[in-house]
Amino acid sequence: MSGPDGVLETCLYARDLAAVIPFYRDVLELDPVSRTEGRHVFFRCGEQMVLIFHPDATADPDGTLPPHGAEGPGHVAFRVAHDEIESWLDRFREHDVAVEKDMTWSDEGRSLYVRDPAGNSVEVATPGIWSLDEHA
């Protein structure tokens, strides 16, 4: 048996789920998959899932799953092609999303940091920010 080969899903938390839907659907263009009022909204991102839960709903679940949750802003980074990063700057401007930080890590590594309506830190980054091929 070997270790996991990827991340299947990641979770963020938002008290106002309706407010985050346009950001993830329209700005990031993720595909909505499931929504339960007052509990969650799920989006597909390539072969992974981005789950956004209301923190109170998962802290005291119905017994189906163990409790989980977080308080305060979370963070997620989405991989984008290096030659598309300028287009992401334009997209954020078009949607009146302020870029909190434009970070150049290396010739091939660059990140743009924005906030979703719940205050979570959302990063779009080129794969060059990590030298994953060097890890054995």
The domain that holds 93 is classified in CATH as 3.10.180.10
DSSP 7-64: --EEEEE-S-HHHHHHIIIIIS-PEEEEEETTTEEEEEETTEEEEEE-HHHHHS--SS
Q: How confident is the model over 62-113, as pLDDT tens digits? A: 677 788 888 889 999 999 999 999 999 999 999 999 999 999 998 779 999 9
> Do the domain assignments include residue 125?
yes
pTM of the complete model: 0.89
> Do the domain assignments include residue 2?
no
> Do the domain assignments include residue 55?
yes
> Do the domain assignments include residue 35?
yes
> Do the domain assignments include residue 30?
yes
Name the domain count of the chain.
1
Name the residue range of residue 30's domain: 9-134
> Do the domain assignments include residue 84?
yes
pLDDT in the model for residue 132: 61
- Per the CB < 8 A criterion, the answer to whether 33 and 42 are in contact is yes
Residue 54 in this model has a pLDDT that exceeds 90: yes
> Do the domain assignments include residue 59?
yes
> Do the domain assignments include residue 3?
no
What does DSSP say about strands 9-13 and 48-53: parallel, antiparallel, or unpaired?
A: parallel
